[in-house]
Amino acid sequence: MKDIFDKLHEHCALFGIYDIKEASNYVYLGLHALQHRGQEGCGIVTRDKDVFYKKRARGLVLEAFDKTDIENLKGSIGIGHNRYITNGDSSLVNLQPLTASFDLGDIAIAHNGNIVNAYSIRQKLISDGAIFSSNSDTEVIIHLIARQKGSFDERLVGALSQLKGAFSLVMLFNDTLYAIKDPWGFRPLAMGELGDACCFASETCAFDLIGAKFVRELENGEIIKVDKYGVNSFKPFKSENSYRCVFEYIYFARPDSYLWDNHVYEIRKRIGQKLALKSNVDADIVIAVPDSGMPAAIGYSQASGLPFEMGIIRNHYVGRTFIEPTDSIRHFGVKLKLNPSSDVLNNKRVVVVDDSIVRGTTSRRIVKMIRNAGAKEVHLCIASPPVTHPCFYGIDTPTKSELIASSHTIEEITKYATADSIAYLSLEDLKEIVGGSGYCYACFSGNYPVSLNV
Ligand code: AMP
């Protein structure tokens, strides 16, 4: 299974807008606001007078598109996508939106999530004679739609009903925009409005940038269709239990976004407060691993009374740690990005808050860095439970054997990280903070809500 899923992971940002002059400008800005969800590459497709205009390129949005590109992307309807690193396969063909033509017209599709039965569907399609041009699981959706019978909406429902796993989608079919969320609701997708225009984004921070109003999160299993007749919603799928990805709160989402009716910043702060209340560590200061540990460190400081200090400064002009495909470069990446401030750390007992430990590499480097800057004691405080299982629903995590907490006790991880202590948030506390049911906790529990045996 590992090999299959290593090839088919997708983790991304989506943006779509219907009926606004020079739509490409808004898609461009929306994708920029969502840059944290994927930095490997990006793409925009717009529609004007029966023609798709498209550009996909590697790298960050602001570098991938220049003024002429945006001007050339004509039309008042557009969708866009940021792609996250997968297994180092950064070829252009895997960038989205994917486009294709079939008997009913043209289709462009952008996907956030991971379809767990994509591989078996793909193998079946290939044995029936289908030809694939990417190794992304998203392409199976286009094939399935093209092979159904009936109207486009019937085909869409027929195709999507065959999928298992995580799929938030924005899609253009000719002049119609669709926004879709899978029946389990794994990945976020929100609707906004900007004057008379309707827009969709993975996170509400994209609406803030373009001045749109956040209307609501899509419901699980909802299809929203936007065309010249207006905005129509339908829920054609069998209803399923809700499994929203709790790791979005822990790490992935931007703290200024509203996600599933919660402000991400608030959730992270409450996690920090909870950690402080459970802590029995004596320390002088609390610091964060920037940026993702910041809100929890502030919460920790507020609840414990320990002063919050900027003990580590981040260089923002480097991609996220996971972007680099090989281990040796990843190690270098930590040094490139984070610099300890010895004036702050020297001779101090330090609580350092980070969002999660995945492989353990970052924590080990950070502890070393803080000690070298003169700290007397380093106590790691982790704003999530131990990550013991890989995600198969759209977060890029390594295989189980690479996850340090899958095979090591907290004592062993503490020793490996060379920390004086490590405190994790408990799963029970996390559930209490986010409100319990309705979430997927598989990376912490191994309970995969949608079967992987497909
Ligand atoms: P490591 O334990 O060295 O593998 O890295 C852990 C750090 O990577 C955490 O502190 C997070 O900030 C970050 N992180 C956690 N999950 C992910 C992910 N899925 N993609 C990229 N970075 C992540």
Residue 269 shares a structural domain with residue 232: no
Annotated binding-site residue? 42: no
Q: Smallest Cα–Cα separation from 166: which of 234, 108, 244?
A: 244
User: Is 12 considered catalytic here?
Assistant: yes
The pLDDT-based confidence of 436 (bands split at 50, 70, 90) is confident
Q: Which residues pair with 170 in a beta bridge?
A: 110, 179
pLDDT at 36: 93
Question: Looking at ligand 1, which residue's alpha carbon is closest to its atom 22?
Answer: 322
3-state secondary structure of 407: helix
Residue 312 shares a structural domain with residue 423: yes
Mutate to test the pocket of ligand 1, among 289, 294, 322, 400 (most ligand atoms within 8 A of CB): 322
Residue 289 shares a structural domain with residue 430: yes
Residue 42, in any domain of the structure: yes
Residue 306 shares a structural domain with residue 401: yes
Residue 114 shares a structural domain with residue 31: yes
Would you say 284 and 349 are in contact if contact means Cβ atoms under 8 Å apart? yes
Residue 156 shares a structural domain with residue 284: no
Residue 415, in any domain of the structure: yes
Mutate to test the pocket of ligand 1, among 321, 366, 399, 422 (most ligand atoms within 8 A of CB): 321
As for how many domains the chain has, the answer is 2
Q: Smallest Cα–Cα separation from 261: which of 214, 309, 331, 320?
A: 214
Mean pLDDT, residues 233-245? 96
Residue 429, in any domain of the structure: yes
The pLDDT-based confidence of 349 (bands split at 50, 70, 90) is very high
Residue 138, in any domain of the structure: yes
Annotated binding-site residue? 208: no
Q: pLDDT (tens digit, 9 = 90+) per residue, 255-289?
A: 999 999 899 999 999 999 999 999 989 999 999 99
Annotated binding-site residue? 292: yes
Ligand 1 contacts CB of residue 322 (under 6 A)? yes
Annotated binding-site residue? 391: yes
Q: pLDDT (tens digit, 9 = 90+) per residue, 284-321?
A: 999 999 999 999 999 999 999 999 999 999 988 765 44
For residue 289, give the ligand 1 atom closest to its CA: 10
Ligand 1 contacts CB of residue 396 (under 6 A)? yes
pTM for the full predicted model: 0.94
The pLDDT-based confidence of 162 (bands split at 50, 70, 90) is very high
First to last CA, the chain: 10
Domain at 232, CATH number:
3.60.20.10
Annotated binding-site residue? 199: no
Mark which of 214, 242, 270 sits at the end of a domain. Answer: 242
What's the gap in Å between 357 CA and the centre of ligand 1? 6
Residue 323 shares a structural domain with residue 191: no
Domain at 350, CATH number:
3.40.50.2020
Mark which of 242, 273, 294 sits at the end of a domain. Answer: 242
Q: How far apart are CA 444 and CA 132, in angstroms?
A: 35
Mean pLDDT, residues 107-123? 95
What's the gap in Å between 157 CA and the centre of ligand 1? 36
Residue 183, in any domain of the structure: yes
Q: Which residues pair with 218 in a beta bridge?
A: none
Residue 1, in any domain of the structure: no
Residue 147 shares a structural domain with residue 211: yes
Residue 272 shares a structural domain with residue 231: no
CB neighbourhood size of 16 (10 A): 32
Residues contacting 8, CB < 8 A, separation 6+: 114, 115, 118, 119, 135, 136, 137
Residue 198 shares a structural domain with residue 339: no
Q: pLDDT (tens digit, 9 = 90+) per residue, 39-67?
A: 889 999 999 999 999 999 998 999 999 99
H or E element in which residue 376 lies: none
Residue 161 shares a structural domain with residue 227: yes
Residue 230, in any domain of the structure: yes
Range of the domain at 134: 9-242
What's the gap in Å between 281 CA and the centre of ligand 1? 24
Residue 34 shares a structural domain with residue 135: yes
Is 83 a residue whose pLDDT tops 70? yes
Q: How far apart are CA 302 and CA 253, in angstroms?
A: 23
Mark which of 175, 210, 242 sits at the end of a domain. Answer: 242
Query: Which of 12, 42, 198, 199 does the annotation list as catalytic?
Result: 12
The tokens for 262 are: 């919660």
What's the gap in Å between 358 CA and the centre of ligand 1? 6
For residue 362, give the ligand 1 atom closest to its CA: 3
The pLDDT-based confidence of 90 (bands split at 50, 70, 90) is low
What's the gap in Å between 384 CA and the centre of ligand 1? 12
For residue 361, give the ligand 1 atom closest to its CA: 3
3-state secondary structure of 142: helix
User: What is the DSSP code (8-state) at residue 386?
Assistant: -
Ligand 1 contacts CB of residue 356 (under 6 A)? yes
Query: How confident is the prediction for the chain on average, in pLDDT?
Result: 92
Ligand 1 contacts CB of residue 220 (under 6 A)? no
3-state secondary structure of 196: coil
Annotated binding-site residue? 440: yes
Residue 250, in any domain of the structure: no
Would you say 405 and 357 are in contact if contact means Cβ atoms under 8 Å apart? yes
